[in-house]
Amino acid sequence: MPSITGRYEYDDEDLTPGKKKEGGLHQNLYGRHGDLKGSARFIPDDDDGYQAEPHSVVIHVRHEVAPPAKTREQEEFEKAVSDLVSLLLEDAIARLKPHAQRFWHERARPAIRSKVNKVKNRRPDRGAVAALALPAASSPEVVAAFEGHKADTTIMLDTYTHASLAIDAAAAEQIAEQIA
């Protein structure tokens, strides 16, 4: 592990260098109460005995400080505001409840029921499924599989599924031709 020998210099004797978690010192200087006051200069020793110019390193450290304790007056004020907001919300809910119920019964519920009934009554368009066709160069096995799915009435496939089958079959056939 590389290392540099040297010394820390700082102007005020009342300050203390910080300690790293791994051990050793860092450039931060702290006061008596642990508050950050500045940074120290590290001056490396040269092998020739020549002292290099001092190098200043500035490291900014953010310390989380707990908020000050609340006074009794602040707590009472917060409680009063909280109670007022609660009362206003209760009043607003009581006034808006009949309007919300009327909206639900007259507009929202009928609209939802209408959409549900449309979905329940929707049937696949047989003409669109019959109009789908495979590419002309399809192999007999692919055509037979596609026609079998189209003719099978027990399997209810929508138009998109049939189109997807046709595209997949054509792609599989092209891949097989490229490999062979």
Q: 140-151: per-residue pLDDT in tens?
A: 777 777 666 555
- Give the number of domains in the chain: 3
Whether 52 and 10 map to the same domain: the answer is: yes
Of residues 54 and 42, more confidence is placed in: 42
Q: CA-CA distance, 5 to 104, in Å (whole number)?
A: 79
> Is residue 131 in a domain?
yes
In this predicted structure, what is the pLDDT of residue 4? 75
Is the same domain home to 138 and 167?
yes
Q: What is the chain's alpha carbon radius of gyration, rounded to the nearest angstrom? A: 40
pLDDT at 160: 59
For residue 28, give both structure tokens.
């931060």
Helix (H) or strand (E) holding 19: strand 16-19
pLDDT at 99: 92
**Residue 37, both tokens:** 């006051």
Contact status, residue 19 vs residue 25, Cβ threshold 8 Å: yes
With beta carbons less than 8 A apart as the criterion, state whether 124 and 158 touch.
yes
- pTM of the full predicted structure? 0.30
Quick one: average pLDDT of 34-56? 70
Please state, for a pLDDT cut of 90, what percent of the chain lies above it. 18
Query: In this predicted model, what pLDDT tens digit does every residue of 86-144 receive, in sequence order?
Result: 999 999 999 999 999 999 889 988 888 888 888 777 765 555 555 556 666 677 777 77
User: Is 114 part of a structural domain of the chain?
Assistant: no
Is 22 part of a structural domain of the chain?
A: yes
Assess whether 131 and 166 both reside in one domain: yes
Does the residue 169 lie in any domain?
yes
Q: Are residues 43 and 82 in the same domain?
A: no
51 and 75 in a single domain? The answer is no
The answer to the question of residue 120 being in a domain is: no
Give yes or no: residues 133 and 159 share one domain: yes
Does 83 reside within a domain?
yes
CA distance 76 to 21: 43
Spatial distance between the Cα atoms of 41 and 60, rounded to a whole number of angstroms? 14
* Domain with 88 in it: 71-106
Q: Which residues contact 55 (CB under 8 A, 6 or more apart)?
A: 41, 42, 43, 44
- Looking at 52-111, which runs of residues are DSSP E strands? 55-56
Q: What is the DSSP string of 169-180?
A: HHHHHHHHHHH-
